């Protein structure tokens, strides 16, 4: 079983399908937690359509698509906020593949893409209920910071220096650029 990660346009069929899966999951989780219901279908469609992902296209961003055994399985986006800072967004792995190593590979590939875009620091925000995401970012060397935006859904903000690579976070073989095969032995 292998993972491959490569840049794709935000409008590609795989990117659109993964955005729909990601948005549906995080929206449903929020509504179930706060209102005891799933997202209204019309509202879901409006939310999906409202964010095209254009900010994740070169030259100011990158959308990475992970494939597991050739099938679209996850995504991570990077967008440049200023000459030194990039934002990590849309980190998602299909539920049935969680725990198989895809998320750390995606984050490391996104970090490499950010470096190639000139960033020396990566920031991100996440919600309080997305405990799995917070654990992943902490495990990969991100530290919690003061808020860097006023997103009403964000409850936690993180940052990571991209200039140094720690021994605990080895460089990902599935970095930005042409697709590369990554054996399952990766963490």
Averaged confidence pLDDT in the chain: 84
User: Among 22-26, 176-180, 182-186, which stretch is predicted with the lowest mean pLDDT?
Assistant: 182-186
Binned at pLDDT 50, 70 and 90, residue 68 comes out as very high
Whether the CB-CB separation of 169 and 142 falls below 8 Å is answered with: no
Calculate the dihedral angle through the C-alpha atoms of 107, 109, 110, 116, rounding to the nearest 10 degrees.
150
Write the DSSP symbol of residue 56.
G
What are the E-state strand segments in the chain? 2-7, 61-68, 71-82, 85-93, 121-126, 143-145, 156-161, 180-183
CA–CA distance, 3 with 79 (Å, rounded to integer): 23
Whether the CB-CB separation of 162 and 185 falls below 8 Å is answered with: no
Residue 101 confidence (pLDDT) above 60:
yes
Residue 148 confidence (pLDDT) above 60:
yes
């Amino acid at each position: 079983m292998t993972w491959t990660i490569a840049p794709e346009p935000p409008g590609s069929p795989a990117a659109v399908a993964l955005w729909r899966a990601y948005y549906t999951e995080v929206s449903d989780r929020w509504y179930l937690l706060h209102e005891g219901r799933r997202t209204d279908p019309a509202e879901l469609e409006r939310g999906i359509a409202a964010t095209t992902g254009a900010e994740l296209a070169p030259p100011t961003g990158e959308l990475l698509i992970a494939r597991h055994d050739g099938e679209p399985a996850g995504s991570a986006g990077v967008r440049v906020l200023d000459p030194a800072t990039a934002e990590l967004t849309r980190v998602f792995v299909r539920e049935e593949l969680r725990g198989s190593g895809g998320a750390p590979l995606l984050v490391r590939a996104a970090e490499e893409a950010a470096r190639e875009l000139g960033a020396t620091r990566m920031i991100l925000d996440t919600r309080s209920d997305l405990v799995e995401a917070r654990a992943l970012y902490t495990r990969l060397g991100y530290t919690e910071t003061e808020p860097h935006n006023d997103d009403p859904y964000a409850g936690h903000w993180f940052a990571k220096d991209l200039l140094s690579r720690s021994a605990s976070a080895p460089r990902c073989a599935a970095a930005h650029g042409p697709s590369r095969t990554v054996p399952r032995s990766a963490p």
